[in-house]
Amino acid sequence: FAEMLSNPRLVPVQGTLNVMMNQNVTLSCHSDSGSPPVRYTLFKRNQKVSTLNRPDLTPVLFNLTINSASDMGDYKCKAENNISSGGKYSNSLNFTLLEPISKPVLSSPTSQAKKGQNVTLSCLSENGSLPITYIFFKGRQSISHPVKMQKSEAAVIFLFINSSSDFGTYKCRAENSFRNNTKYSNSFNFTLAEERNHSQPLIISLGLILLLLVIGFALAIPFFIIPSYKASE
């Protein structure tokens, strides 16, 4: 007797929905039970993509090429046989486009610091599929745990400038799920802020007062000292 089809299952043959631009992918669709022959139709956003027939219950394979963001999905498969009314639909699938990350930028609100000061470093890749994982370095040594960002926001760490060695060269590294795509940032160095000498303004003020006294004395000579000298002759 004729049996109605079960809802088909649509799965990626490659095992993942993460894809890169211009990548070839294969989707498998099949119903576990029902009377063959079976006609399978693949839809993308309710638009028919392809139709394949099977004389039995073996899966059909739909081959696709991801050429643009519009090819991301969502995809569904419909299974029909001679007694199905309207057919049975599968689960939906959506691809995630893996985009390589751009070179991260390492920055800080201040480029000058002094000993005993707290500072921050920010690392951000403007482009790249999420999540993006950042690690901060001083020289070649890691100074942070991996920081995984689920949004397009900078990873931030806080540092305490405790000694001269803390003014070394800093970098950060960014990576995502895109294969073999690790990028390092620019180098960043804090410079030592000059300590202001509080006695220096006082010394300058005293010097100016002394200079004014000397000038005043020099200007007073023609009016007081020279006339008194002539009067005594």
- Walk me through the domains of the chain, giving residue ranges and CATH numbers: 8-97 (2.60.40.10), 105-192 (2.60.40.10)
**Type of residue found at 163:** S
Residue 164 pLDDT: 84
φ/ψ of residue 42, rounded to 5:
-100, 135
138-to-38, 122, 125, 190 alpha-carbon distances in Å: 62, 14, 19, 11
At residue 59, does pLDDT exceed 60?
A: yes
Residue 57: pLDDT band with limits 50, 70, 90:
very high
Q: Global pTM?
A: 0.60
Per-residue pLDDT of 76-135, as tens digits, reads 999 999 886 789 999 999 998 888 999 999 999 998 888 889 999 999 999 998 899 999
Structure tokens at 66: 């991801």
The DSSP call for residue 199 is H
The whole-chain average pLDDT of the chain stands at 88
Residue 200: pLDDT band with limits 50, 70, 90:
low
Question: Is beta strand 147-149 parallel, antiparallel or unpaired with respect to 93-94?
Answer: unpaired
DSSP string, 43-61: EETTEEEEEEEESSSPPEE
Helix then strand count (H, E) for the chain reads 2, 21
